[in-house]
Each structure stands twice: as C-alpha cells, then as structure tokens.
Amino acid sequence: MIMEKRKANDILPPEDIHTFWVNLPSLARVSGSNPAECGFDFENKVKDFLRLRLGYIPYLTTRIVGLSGLEHQYDAIFIKSLTTRDDLLFLECKWRHKGSKVSRYDVMIFNQKAFDVYYKIRTRKPQ
C-alpha cells in the first residue's frame, strides 16, 4: 500500500503510521479466488481500517483533476479533518503474492499523479 500526504512539510501522525503498520499483516490476510478479488478485499480492508479505526474521512470522490488537466483516479482519497480539506491522503493499494514486488513503474505513476494534484491545489485561488 502506498500512502502520501499532500503537503510536503506535513506528515501523517506517527501514532497513525504505527497503528496502521502494526495492523497491516492482518489487513493483508485476504480472501478471493484470483489476484483481482484478493486485491479488492485488501483495498476494502485498508479503507475500512482508515475510516473506522483511525477516523479518516473519505473524500467525496476517488477522481481528481491535476494541474495538467488530466483526471487521476485513486483507490481512495481521505482527509483527516474537515477544517483542513486540502490535506489529502491518496491511497493506492497493491496486493501481491509473497515474493512478488510492486513495480517501480507503479510507484512512479503514483508519485507523478500526486505531484500533479498537489500543484493544482497549491495554485488554486482562494474562494
């Protein structure tokens, strides 16, 4: 699972990172008859954990337009507080078989999408 906070100078609360990391092995125990089903089960467990256990609020959509004008889709987008709605937590879940790795290609695509959205939000005029 890849998690990134929108603002470069902010980090997720350490206690949230710790709680998530400790619980990750149980979240990774998935059911399904094929990799896609296992991936969806993992994604749903992670989203439920963030919402129910850590109190993150699901964003209104999983799609968001970046500065490039391209629409990006994530597995989920969360916010921690309604007062800081621009502090977005982008979530991309990658379930894999033991011994396999997430590709650098997947990581770089996620990174570029996050930067595209970050700069769109940063350059937005206040309403």
The pLDDT assigned to 56 comes to: 93
Question: Which tokens sit at 79?
Answer: 């916010």
The pLDDT assigned to 10 comes to: 55
The pLDDT assigned to 85 comes to: 67
In the chain, the number of structural domains is 1
pTM of the model: 0.78
Torsion sign, CA atoms 50, 52, 53, 57:
positive
Q: What is the CA radius of gyration of the chain?
A: 15
Q: What is the pLDDT along the chain (127 residues), one digit of tens a residue?
A: 555 544 444 567 889 999 999 999 999 899 888 888 999 999 999 999 999 999 999 988 889 999 999 999 999 989 887 777 667 889 998 888 778 888 899 999 999 999 999 888 888 765 5
Range(s) of the domain holding residue 101: 2-123
C-alpha closest to that of 72 among 45, 95, 91? 91
Q: What is the dihedral of CA 25, 2, 11, 120, to 10 degrees?
A: -160
Give dist(CA 101, CA 28) in Å, integer. 14
